[in-house]
Amino acid sequence: MDRAIPRRDFLNGAAMAIGTAMLPGGLQRAEPGSGEPQDRPGYCPPAATGLRGSHPGSFEVAHSLRDQTFWKQAPPTKPLPETYDLVVVGGGISGLAAAHFYREKSGGGAKILILENHDDFGGHAKRNEFHLGGKLQLLNGGTMLIDSPTPYSAVAAGLMKKLGIDAAALDKKCTDHGFYASRGLGSGVFFDRETFGADRLLKAPRGMDEESADRQDAGTRWREFLSGAPLTDRARRDILRIETESIDYMPDQLSAEKKDRLSRMSYKDFLLKVVKADPGAVAFYQTRTNGEWGVGIDAEPALDCWALGLPGFQGLKLDLGSAPHMSYTAAGYANGGSDRFHFPDGNASIARLLVRNLLPAAVPGSSAEDVVTAEVDYGRLDRPESAIRIRLNSTAVRVRNAPGSGKGSERAGVEVVYASGSELFSVRAGACVLACWNMAIPYLCPELPERQKEALHYLVKVPLVYTSVALRNWSAFEKLGMASFYCPGAYWNSVGLNWPVNIGQYRSPRSPEEPILLHLSRTPCKPGLPAREQHKAGRMELLVTPFEAFERKIREQLTRMLSSGAFHAASDIEAITVNRWPHGYGYEYNPLFDPDWAEGQAPHVIGRQRFGRIAIANSDSGATAYTDVAIDQAYRAVSELDAV
């Protein structure tokens, strides 16, 4: 358990010159464009292991702005001679899309600077890259896949098309959906002793995770599964009833009345008070909603859980489709959803395609398939001769409308000050799109109207951790006959072998003797509190958890889960990347805790109002956490600038 795992901050034998983590210590750095960390040979953030996501060095400046200590110790601002048509704050999908739309609307040739506080572009759409046994293996460090509750809008679908992405066709061609099943691997459930009294790993009944689970023969499958579970007889009986029986628990009500009632109670209360299930049975379902919303069933409406296919509603005969008082996600999925496709690095491939679109020389290649293995030339992102520049490791700290603001770089309408290393620089531009996390905007633009700042503060992002673990082989999984696991009470709530996707030159592992990547996720939350309070508590937890603590939890849980398959953490784990997202999913209103806002009064709508030559994008300004929304909001923000 205590064997050291080499921190693989080396790529092809050369030390990766990220440098960011050192910057707050006072490293003096030359002016942008000449010797920035991103220009150094071997710079490749996706290959770094250890603590990633909101990595050390990326957030300290923003936190000191929030704590009102930043300006007390700030060095003098150095005005740069650079002027732009547009400065974009935030190099996530929304910021990159905003640059694309602005350039397109301006007829090409616009001068655009994108500032990003992390050491890589993409925002949540980050890539984890490993070279195992000489072979490239990829996982998403954040944004997992093209999958949204609603079909992509004409704008978002149009951008996908321009980038060469046809999600449905790629999924058909590249995803080997039946791969693990063809080798006899299904899903499993890990009961942990802290929650259930004993550690026990069981094969899940077939169909448990599927929305349209085939309930034929379900009784036999569930009985067999439950007989091995560390649960009381009462809890077993109740789970069997919830999963397999069609009981109308609200017999005197019409479908619309039932839906209304279900939208006003949590799924936990539905199970306890309506279904009258034993608390031991309810514990089995507690974290079924964590992956989707970052909180458990205590804080999610029963109706939303129905839309996501959770059990217990079979006998209620609810009319299909959405209903009033549902969350964006649940209402959307109740009506269908978008096409789905998982690139091996998740939606980082979309970010890389956007960068290729803006700066073709930085991301060689020509298709959505070859982008997966393309090597990004970070040194080309911020060249003085380029109309478009992407400047990493740079945190915007001040954005204001300049007196006499107007359109065009000659009439420099905004001034943007950003911190890079231990220095402050300012640039001027015709306009600015803030595609950063919306709740940070009041600190960047203190002149905003108080009502707008208050609205922006309302949005509390959902904390999450996505961890990629490189394994020397996956024979333990093969022996156990399981590829993915639901762990209702454990530290890591879900664990799964990497997606079998073969695209372009990229090949996923085929044999259990080959190295593979494992994906683990944790959604820190505090059941019992209102959802936004749970998110705040979870964020605090993430900020004080060191890498070593995550690492120990990984080794311990995998050992407890997999040792009967002869898994040995000390020899089987090769490397770990913990993607920590204290500010993860954009806040989506929760019908249990948020009012039904009147038209135009929702905090995200008040918060995203244009302020002079400053417009606001990011998926936050669409009050949800999806890539299509990030793109739509970029388009809206750019269009608002057009109108001035």
Ligand X SMILES: Cc1cc2nc3c(=O)[nH]c(=O)nc-3n(C[C@H](O)[C@H](O)[C@H](O)COP(=O)(O)OP(=O)(O)OC[C@H]3O[C@@H](n4cnc5c(N)ncnc54)[C@H](O)[C@@H]3O)c2cc1C
- Dihedral sign of CA atoms 405, 408, 411, 415 in order: positive
- Distances from the Cα of 465 to the Cα of 165, 573, 582, angstroms: 27, 19, 8
**Smallest gap from residue 351 Cβ to ligand X (A):** 8
Q: CA–CA distance from 29 to each of 91, 142, 329, 509 (Å)?
A: 21, 30, 44, 42
Q: How far is the CB of 341 from ligand X (least distance, A)?
A: 11
| Nearest distance in Å: CB 595, ligand X | 24
Q: Which is nearer to ligand X, 435 or 495 (CB)?
A: 435
CB closer to ligand X out of 465 and 569: 465
Closest separation between CB of residue 543 and ligand X, Å?
Answer: 15
C-alpha to C-alpha distance for 438 and 455, rounded to whole angstroms: 10
Q: In whole angstroms, how close is the CB of 464 to ligand X at the nearest point?
A: 4
> Minimal distance in Å, beta carbon 232 to ligand X?
35
Question: For residue 313, what are the contacts with CB-CB under 8 A and spacing of at least 6?
Answer: 306
Residue 236 or 352: which CB sits closer to ligand X? 352
Q: And the tokens for 565?
A: 């398959």
CB of 219 to ligand X, least distance (A): 34
CB of 14 to ligand X, least distance (A): 26
Of 89 and 310, nearer to ligand X (C-beta) is 89
Q: In whole angstroms, give the CA distance from residue 114 to residue 90.
A: 7
Burial of 387 (0-12, 13-18, 19+ CB in 10 A): middle
Q: Which of 311, 287, 316 is nearest to 211 (CA)?
A: 311
Q: Which is nearer to ligand X, 222 or 587 (CB)?
A: 587
Give Cα 414 distance to the centre of its chain. Answer: 31
Closest CB to ligand X among residues 244, 357: 357
Q: Which is nearer to ligand X, 270 or 499 (CB)?
A: 499
Q: Which residues bind ligand X (CB under 6 A)?
A: 62, 89-95, 115-118, 123-125, 142-145, 147-148, 347, 395-396, 435-437, 440, 444, 464, 466, 581, 584-586, 618-619, 625-627, 630
Sequence-distant (≥ 6) Cβ neighbours of residue 460 within 8 angstroms = 439, 532, 535, 536, 587
Shorter beta-carbon distance to ligand X: residue 567 or 585: 585
Q: Residue 114, class by beta-carbon neighbours within 10 Å (0-12 exposed, 13-18 middle, 19+ buried)?
A: buried
Can you give the C-alpha Rg of the chain in angstroms?
A: 25
